[in-house]
Structure 1
Amino acid sequence: MRTAAGVAFLLLQLVWMLVEQRGPTRYFCWAPNDYMTRYHLEVRVAGRALSPAEIQQRYHLPAEDLSENVPQHLIDILEQRERTSGRGEEAAVALRYRVNGREERTWSRP
């Protein structure tokens, strides 16, 4: 019985990891982290550009940095802030990023 429970647990984790590998977030993967995301964040609140220090204070992220995660992690942090405590502040967010030195992409909100 204990062996069956252990095998079932490991199989469940394997399936979960395989599902996460196909998704954009990869929060619950066992796979090695092989992503380097260089990004630059620009934010305007009510038409005024925020300084790097204000961006750091608002999102707890540097305005420009190298992250060892997929870009979706950064996007999730930005969206969470704007959906909760930033709601109603008319923030325009632009995230420019490169994954592993490839072509630059941009994500923006709204």
Structure 2
Amino acid sequence: MSLRKKIGLLFIAAQFILIVYAKFVPERFFCWAPFDEHTFLDVDVEVNGKSLSKKEIEKRYRYKSLGWEPRSINNVFNIIRQYESTYGKNDNAKVTVKYSTNGNEERIWFLE
């Protein structure tokens, strides 16, 4: 078998492994597995006792604060956790994310 064919088969095998792996982890950053979750989310943030507007929240996290997320909701949680553990660690922020995945009942995620 030629080197090109071996590299091609290795590439296809790696992609298959990543798709299977992505089905069993909450985050799916580095694979092209199909988006099988659709989540409606609504983020609210309070910093030092002051509620932020939707625009302020979007500026803070550089991500939407209200709308549809076509990937795992854990991606949004990771964006918020990362910001609050670095840039916002001294802001005394209280974050609430209300979300509903695939039309199921609404859930609430907190970060204080």
- Both proteins in one fold, TM over 0.5: yes
- 1:91 counterpart = 2:97: no
Question: Which residue of the partner structure matches residue 39 of structure 1?
Answer: 41
State the distance in 1 between where 2:9 and 2:58 align: 45
State the distance in 2 between where 1:64 and 1:9 align: 37
Deviations 1:59-90 (A, max 9, x none): 12333211212101111111111122112111
- Indicate the RMSD between aligned Cα atoms, in angstroms: 1.5
Give the counterpart letter for 2:13 in structure 1.
Answer: L
* SS in structure 1 at match of 2:23: helix
State the distance in 2 between where 1:72 and 1:87 align: 20
Cα distance change on mapping 1:77 and 1:70 into 2, 3 Å: same
Question: Which residue of the partner structure matches residue 79 of structure 1?
Answer: 81
Q: Which moved more, 1:82-91 or 1:26-35?
A: 26-35
Give the counterpart letter for 2:35 in structure 1.
Answer: N
* SS in structure 2 at match of 1:108: strand
- Percent pairwise identity: 33
State the distance in 2 between where 1:62 and 1:70 align: 14
Contact kept, 8 Å, 1:96 with 1:107, in 2: the verdict is: yes
Deviations 1:85-109 (A, max 9, x none): 1121111111110011101111111
Deviations 1:30-64 (A, max 9, x none): 33223221111111111221112211211123332
**Uncovered stretches (5+) of structure 1, i.e. residues with no partner:** none
Relative to the length of structure 1, the TM-score reads: 0.88
Question: Which residue of the partner structure matches residue 57 of structure 1?
Answer: 59
Cα distance change on mapping 1:30 and 1:63 into 2, 3 Å: closer
Following superposition, the deviation at residue 13 of structure 1 comes to: 2.2
State the distance in 1 between where 2:103 and 2:36 align: 12
